């Protein structure tokens, strides 16, 4: 349906109202009330009076006003209302008793301004030319039509007799002569045609009164109806927008649920990784500092050949404090040199000592890195010269003493110089080396206190 037709149908919608037929004995059925539109009241032909008016010489623009003046002066009832029709210079007024109609409406709870009154004649099907007997809401009506215009009409409560029909034809000028001697049987009464009210009038018609208060009320009603239609359209648009928003919300919720379902596995892995991060961090921190067991192993590799015993060992981060029990012929400088030769210990400083004998040497040093250098990277310590074979004299690298000017004194027979020199220069046998075993704690980790790793002697 096109937009103009739709708007026209909406404009005429209130007029699609219930109908009520008003006859001489009142309403056939109680008029129905409508909250949207006026109730159509069809005035039966039996309640109407018809009169034709000549409008010769009246300008077309003034013919309606002239017809209204003549219809108001006609006065077929004490208080009447009418609908007017204009065909060129011929006018027709269809009038009814307004007071009687209003009284019957009040009895059924309706007011005259709540109804749209229209004569039955305007809702009947028209014809081109000819005469007919129409059976309407009440009684029978004889009609004479010329060129689609109603020129004569007469009503009877029952089907007219031949004489009544002939009288109508004579008054309408349809007998062909004015002589009343013509036999009635030459003009037989035709069969009545039952005409039901149509949906709309077949001709344009006008009210008896010019549009005044009633016209304003009608315009006001239409404006109110138009505003109601606009509000309904706005409410429909808002409801449609609300429905679209609700539908979009449902789609987004479904997508969010799908994303959450897909992300559950990722979230579970993330939670497990976070829970294991503490253990990984603890292990990383543990591996980032020198470990006591590795320090003890490096000390063993560095100092094992000297026969030194580790009496004290205190490790805190990269700072190491050692208490070493020295042998009688072990130089302290050689201990420092051996410790620094591996490349892992640096800044070796002596803290305290007793100054002689089997002294306890306390050293403080710094450990470079978390792990000892790879074997072979540091310079290997110098090897001791192999012992001389039996009967051979060991060559000393010290400078030879100056020759003496004194004559040699006589003495007993000299012993072999090599054996005597070996007894005087060789150090006493070292104490057998005891390997260091580090016992792990209850958790399988190196001991927290490195002194727990030193076996008691």
Alpha carbon 439 to its chain's center: 65
Is the pLDDT assigned to residue 406 strictly greater than 90? no
| Cα–Cα distance for residue pair 89/87, rounded to 1 Å | 6
Q: What is the pLDDT of residues 330-365, one digit of tens each?
A: 777 888 888 888 788 888 888 765 444 456 788 888
pLDDT band at 281 (very low <50, low <70, confident <90, very high): confident
CB within 8 A of 146, min separation 6: which ones?
129
Mean pLDDT of 172-194: 69
pLDDT band at 441 (very low <50, low <70, confident <90, very high): low
Q: What is the pLDDT of residues 94-130, one digit of tens each?
A: 999 999 999 999 998 888 888 889 999 999 999 999 9
Is the pLDDT assigned to residue 142 strictly greater than 90? yes
Is the pLDDT assigned to residue 229 strictly greater than 90? yes
Q: Do the Cβ atoms of 348 and 342 come closer than 8 Å?
A: no
Residue 287, SS3 per DSSP: helix
Among 125-139, 278-292, 400-414, which stretch is predicted with the lowest mean pLDDT? 400-414
Q: Do the Cβ atoms of 172 and 144 come closer than 8 Å?
A: yes
Q: Do the Cβ atoms of 20 and 101 come closer than 8 Å?
A: no
Q: What is the pLDDT of residues 82-94, one digit of tens each?
A: 999 999 999 999 9
Return the axis-axis angle of helices 213-287 and 3-12, rounded to nearest 10°.
120
Q: Do the Cβ atoms of 438 and 447 come closer than 8 Å?
A: yes
**Exposure pattern of 301-339 as b/e (b: 16+ CB <10 Å)?**
ebbeebbbbbeebebeeeebebbbbbbeebeeeebbebb
Q: What is the pLDDT of residue 185?
A: 46
Q: What is the pLDDT of residues 58-80, one digit of tens each?
A: 999 999 999 999 999 998 999 99
Residue 363, SS3 per DSSP: strand
Domain definitions of the chain by residue range: 13-211, 212-288, 289-381+437-457
Q: What is the pLDDT of residue 195?
A: 87
Residue 114, SS3 per DSSP: helix
Mean pLDDT of 217-243: 88
Report which listed range, 4-8, 58-62, 283-287, 426-430, is most confident.
Answer: 58-62
Q: What is the pLDDT of residues 242-271, one digit of tens each?
A: 999 999 999 999 999 999 888 898 888 888
The edge-to-edge listing of strands for the beta sheet with 26-27 is 26-27, 19-23, 39-43, 115-119
- State the Cα angle at 30 between 26 and 34, rounded to 5°: 130
pLDDT band at 394 (very low <50, low <70, confident <90, very high): very low
Structure tokens at 140: 């029978």
Q: What is the pLDDT of residue 424?
A: 54
* Lookup result for tokens 């002294």: 359
pLDDT band at 217 (very low <50, low <70, confident <90, very high): low
Q: Do the Cβ atoms of 20 and 32 come closer than 8 Å?
A: yes
Task: Give percent of the chain with pLDDT exceeding 70.
Answer: 71
- The secondary structure of residue 108, as a DSSP letter, is T
Question: If you classify domain 289-381+437-457 with CATH, what class do you get?
Answer: alpha beta
Higher-pLDDT residue of 218, 427: 218
Q: What is the pLDDT of residues 156-182, one digit of tens each?
A: 999 999 999 999 999 988 876 544 544
Q: Is the dihedral of CA 321, 304, 372, 383 positive or negative?
A: positive
pLDDT band at 413 (very low <50, low <70, confident <90, very high): very low
Is the pLDDT assigned to residue 141 strictly greater than 90? yes
Q: What is the pLDDT of residue 37?
A: 66
Alpha carbon 128 to its chain's center: 67
Q: Do the Cβ atoms of 140 and 192 come closer than 8 Å?
A: yes
Mean pLDDT of 295-309: 81
Higher-pLDDT residue of 305, 10: 305
Looking at the DSSP bridge assignments, the partners of residue 21 are: 42
């Amino acid at each position: 349906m096109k937009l103009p037709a739709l708007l026209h149908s909406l404009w005429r919608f209130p007029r699609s109202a219930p109908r009520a037929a008003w006859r001489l004995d009142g309403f056939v059925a109680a008029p129905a009330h409508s909250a949207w539109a006026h109730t159509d009241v069809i005035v039966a032909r039996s309640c109407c009076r018809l009169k034709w008016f000549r409008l010769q010489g009246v300008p077309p623009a003034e013919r309606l006003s002239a017809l209204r003046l003549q219809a108001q002066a006609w006065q077929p009832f004490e208080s009447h209302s009418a609908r007017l029709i204009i065909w060129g210079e011929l006018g027709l007024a269809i009038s009814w008793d307004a007071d009687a109609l209003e009284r019957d409406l009040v009895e059924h709870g309706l007011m005259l301004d709540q109804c749209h009154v229209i004569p039955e004649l305007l809702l009947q099907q028209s014809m081109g030319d000819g005469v007919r007997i129409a059976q309407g809401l009440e009684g029978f009506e004889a009609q004479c039509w010329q060129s689609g215009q109603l020129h004569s009409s007469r009503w009877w409560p029952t089907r007219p007799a031949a004489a009544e029909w002939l009288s109508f034809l004579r008054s309408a000028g349809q007998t062909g002569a004015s002589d009343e001697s013509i036999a009635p049987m030459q003009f037989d009464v035709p069969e009545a045609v039952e005409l039901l009210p149509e949906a709309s009038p077949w001709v344009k018609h006008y009210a008896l009164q010019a549009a005044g208060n009633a016209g304003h009320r009608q315009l006001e009603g239409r404006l109110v109806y138009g505003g109601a239609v606009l509000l309904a359209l706005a409410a429909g648009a808002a409801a449609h927008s609300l429905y679209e928003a609700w539908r979009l919300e449902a789609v987004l919720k479904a997508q969010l649920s799908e994303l959450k379902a897909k992300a559950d596995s990722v979230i579970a892995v993330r939670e497990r990784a976070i829970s294991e991060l503490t253990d990984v961090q603890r292990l990383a921190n543990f591996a980032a500092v020198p470990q006591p067991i590795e320090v003890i192993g490096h000390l063993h590799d560095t100092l094992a050949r000297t026969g030194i015993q580790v009496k004290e060992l205190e490790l805190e981060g990269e700072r190491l404090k050692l208490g070493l029990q020295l042998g009688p012929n072990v130089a302290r400088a050689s201990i420092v040199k051996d410790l620094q030769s591996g490349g892992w210990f640096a800044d070796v400083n002596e803290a305290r000592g007793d100054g002689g004998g089997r002294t306890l040497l306390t050293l403080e040093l710094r450990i470079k890195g978390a792990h000892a250098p790879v074997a072979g990277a540091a310079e290997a310590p110098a090897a001791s010269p192999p012992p001389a074979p039996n009967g051979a004299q060991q060559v000393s690298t010290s400078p030879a003493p100056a020759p003496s000017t004194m004559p040699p004194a006589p003495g007993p027979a000299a012993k072999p110089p090599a054996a005597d020199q070996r007894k005087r220069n060789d150090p006493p046998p070292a104490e057998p080396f005891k390997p260091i075993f580090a016992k792990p704690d209850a958790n399988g980790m190196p001991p927290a206190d490195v002194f727990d790793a030193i076996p008691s002697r």
